[in-house]
Amino acid sequence: MPDFPMAIEDGVSRVLCFAAHPDDIDFGAAGTVARWSAASVVVDYCIMTDGDAGGFSDEHRPDIVERRREEQRAAARLVGVETVHFLGHKDGYLEPNQELVGGVVEMIRNVRPQIVLSMHPERNWERIQKSHPDHLACGEAVTRAIYPAVENPYAFPELAARGLEAYRVPWLWFFGGPTQLENHFVDVTDHVEDKMQALRFHASQHPDIERMDSAVRTFLAANGERGGLGPGRCAEVFQVVPVNTDTTIAGF
């Protein structure tokens, strides 16, 4: 398994996180986000769908979209994220088409982060719940945007005309993908309670919040053990892809 040194995060000042639904980032990466925020890294969220198909209560249906946005804003603030963008696509219908890819390109060129974090474009057969079709579409759209569209000055020329020039993303981080592709474990032991509190803000999505809490803590501990972090340590895990770094060749 490749071992990325701390240099992977040295000098990082901006991170942009993409997810399909409100709560996806909190399940996959809220501990890592809290760690970045504590190190004065500015993190933005971009949620692609309106979340209207989520939840378990008929009583929530009339205001489910705004309810879920407020839940996400509150969860984001708790881990130090002030800016949450909502693209507003219909929940359950997300497709990695040119409209979505263009929106991702626009967001990345505007924020210009050193790390883009996204849901994974490949299905996880070990736990298919990680691989909602919207999750896969999110990952595919971000991947198509990262290379080559974001860095191609001739792609989406209407963005350049508005001053959003081409930009080379250094690092792409995926969460929720196949276990065999994971290559980077982040120790989030000091931020587990932040993560769990962030998840609790998504009350509309948890018919049994205590069972959810127990399951997530178990996953984090198993990740820490699998990543060799030591007894009692907890981890979030990613596939890290170098896009434009000292180890990559640009222009091919």
Quote the CA–CA distance of 194 and 135 in Å, as a whole number. Answer: 24
Please determine, looking at this structure, whether the domain spanning 11-242 carries the CATH number 1.10.3720.10.
no
Unique residue bearing structure tokens 């998840």? 199
Question: What are the strands, taking DSSP E only, across the chain?
Answer: 14-19, 42-49, 83-89, 115-119, 171-175, 184-187, 235-242
Q: Give the closest residue to 199 by CA, choosing from 215, 208, 190, 212.
A: 212
- For the chain, the straight-line distance linking the first and the last C-alpha, in angstroms and rounded, comes to 26
Residues 180, 174: contact at Cβ < 8 Å?
Answer: no
Tokens of 138: 């999110």
Residue 18 CA to residue 139 CA, distance in Å, equals 8
Domain boundaries, the chain: 11-242
* Neighbouring-strand partners of residue 89: 49
| Backbone angles phi and psi of 174, in degrees to 5 | -110, 145
Q: How far apart are CA 128 and CA 114, in angstroms?
A: 30
A 10 A CB-CB count for 26 gives: 29
The whole-angstrom separation of Cα 137 and Cα 141 is 6
Determine contact, residues 237/225, Cβ cutoff 8 Å.
Answer: no
Which helix (DSSP H) or strand (DSSP E) does residue 214 occupy?
Answer: helix 209-226
Per the listing, tokens 């210009």 go with: 112
pLDDT at 11: 82
One digit per residue, the tens of pLDDT, for the chain of length 252 reads 444 544 567 789 999 999 999 999 999 999 999 999 999 999 999 999 998 888 777 766 778 999 999 999 999 999 999 999 999 999 999 999 999 999 999 999 999 999 999 999 999 898 888 889 999 999 999 999 999 999 999 999 999 999 999 999 999 999 999 999 999 999 999 999 999 999 999 989 888 999 999 999 999 999 999 999 999 999 999 999 999 988 777 654
